[in-house]
Structure 1
């Protein structure tokens, strides 16, 4: 069960409780947005801990890999709030052992060092992939049934963090955030690839397009991470979704309208044909060792319903950017405006 407190309590001087904030994996897409929010508060001392430098905040980075206890021991600050964004998450990670080494082993290492450094708050970004191919409307109480190593190892990591919190339940705060697919400006993941196809004019729909998709805008995810830093001791688990959900048909129509075009979809391909094409790419990838944007699992994801519910509204949190505005901002930034020299982030 989620626990929460009245909004008036949450408004109590948040940063008195978070002088040091260590963002593990903070050089990435979500982390960079989060840092942009946090640096506006004079009472927060921000540190990025990542195995790669930050493109935007190089002066805040301490290099460290979650697989290394020694590097974490050197990097993590005493009495800090830890935000763990580090993960292996792509569909095509090789070797598969990296999922366990980073997601599970990393969680163990973070908890060990958190014990040493008197850390009382950990915020962990998990994923709705822990539910697998979930029924429409799955909320935080949904059945855990991951279909891939990413979802499996993320859920195993959740249990490790819960065990850490249970060692001092009256003093420690654990926030587990399970976002659906996250999109936004400068991201080069699956949503961007879809938007690029639509913008190119060469897009064709696979299947009937009536399947619904829950998505999350990166600025809203970062805002909720910041907001959750004020939660009191306990375990707080939330799916993160921006509502209302799009159908694939409505998403394509919206993007076309933002681009000043008709919203109609001209080309459609039956699901069975699309899946066959995806399996063909799988075979070529196996034979050549190359990675392709098309695969059978991505075709299945594209055509499946992926609709979740969340109890976040019970916390009093209000996303700063409405979903349709977030989509419009992203499309304009990527395909109408000029941002050729801006940094980009490659994710799923």
Structure 2
């Protein structure tokens, strides 16, 4: 069987390749990305820009499986048009590839960004109201995948996952910045400690992906992928310090003061501090995402939140988190 991972060179793709190779050592794993990564020989890299029609010189079977991770996602970080070009054209071209070869299963990694920024809890039934180019592009991409499934809804399976903050080895994102901010005494609670930040361990996420894609189902399912209940920034910080044997006192500073300081540091070229006014603003708004549907499904979690942090620390030889 072939496993096609569009956008497989990145953080989540790397962990999925590791899991697939472990479970199916004889499977053909293809990483289709604009950035080369053959995952130490575990996958076969093919240069592929999803903004363009996808043509592969490979024998493709209808029982092959597609994981679509390809996206422009870092926010802030890109001009608005790049989110739309990659995320929407990518959805169109990946589903066209599946249509051409009669592939019946796609797992699409979306985001919690389509929900929009607000303090209210969001479930899979919440009406999406995205307020960023990234969130809008991801919602449109979801609908494109749904149209593909609806064309032959008794034959095709579509799984859409909306992960919270995904953390683990190789993340180089929010949790990594939080860890080093705490360790270097550069992190402060921006005006509040109770900001809710929904999150999921990367190994848990890819385990669920494989669990879901292996089902013999013809349907569409959307899952918020996050621990339930979601944790506050204070709970995350405390758990992170405990898992890494770190003792720090984290002070609370008015959000406006922190945003002003971030603006000054950014203007002076202090990117190494990992401080950006938009990131400070994001820290002050909850991502209050319900993981109840996932928790109440038949899927059995492999890691508690605390176990996940410990496992991540162990993956870095118990030296740091990154």
In the alignment, the residues of structure 2 paired with residue 300 and residue 328 of structure 1 have an alpha-carbon distance, to the nearest angstrom, of: 29
| Structure-2 residue corresponding to 1:89 | 73
- Greater relative contact order (Cα < 8 A, sep 6+): 1
CA drift at 1:228:
1.1
Aligned in 2, Cα 1:338/1:165: closer, same or farther, shift over 3 Å? closer
Deviations 1:67-114 (A, max 9, x none): 121x44446833221100110001134332111111000111111121
Please tell me whether residue 238 in structure 1 is matched to residue 223 in structure 2.
yes
The one of 160, 165, 174 aligned to 1:181? 165
Aligned in 2, Cα 1:324/1:218: closer, same or farther, shift over 3 Å? same
Contact 1:64 1:75 in 2 (8 A): no
Contact 2:67 2:107 in 1 (8 A): yes
CA drift at 1:279:
4.3
| Structure-1 residue corresponding to 2:109 | 125
CA drift at 1:188:
0.7
Gaps spanning 5+ residues in structure 2: where? none
| Structure-2 residue corresponding to 1:227 | 211
In the alignment, the residues of structure 1 paired with residue 141 and residue 155 of structure 2 have an alpha-carbon distance, to the nearest angstrom, of: 20
In the alignment, the residues of structure 1 paired with residue 141 and residue 14 of structure 2 have an alpha-carbon distance, to the nearest angstrom, of: 23
CA drift at 1:44:
3.2
Aligned in 2, Cα 1:170/1:160: closer, same or farther, shift over 3 Å? same
| Structure-2 residue corresponding to 1:330 | 312
SS at match of 2:177: helix
The one of 271, 274, 283 aligned to 1:302? 283
Gaps spanning 5+ residues in structure 1: where? 1-18
Contact 1:72 1:110 in 2 (8 A): no
In the alignment, the residues of structure 1 paired with residue 166 and residue 6 of structure 2 have an alpha-carbon distance, to the nearest angstrom, of: 18
Aligned in 2, Cα 1:154/1:139: closer, same or farther, shift over 3 Å? same
CA-based RMSD: 2.5
In the alignment, the residues of structure 1 paired with residue 253 and residue 315 of structure 2 have an alpha-carbon distance, to the nearest angstrom, of: 29
The one of 61, 66, 85 aligned to 1:78? 61
Aligned in 2, Cα 1:93/1:262: closer, same or farther, shift over 3 Å? closer
In the alignment, the residues of structure 2 paired with residue 76 and residue 95 of structure 1 have an alpha-carbon distance, to the nearest angstrom, of: 37
The one of 47, 54, 68 aligned to 2:37? 54
Aligned in 2, Cα 1:76/1:129: closer, same or farther, shift over 3 Å? farther
Aligned in 2, Cα 1:168/1:137: closer, same or farther, shift over 3 Å? same
Deviations 1:11-34 (A, max 9, x none): xxxxxxxx2211111111111111
Aligned in 2, Cα 1:154/1:190: closer, same or farther, shift over 3 Å? same
CA drift at 1:252:
2.0
Please tell me whether residue 249 in structure 1 is matched to residue 273 in structure 2.
no
Please tell me whether residue 172 in structure 1 is matched to residue 153 in structure 2.
no
| Structure-2 residue corresponding to 1:158 | 142
CA drift at 1:144:
0.7
SS at match of 1:160: helix
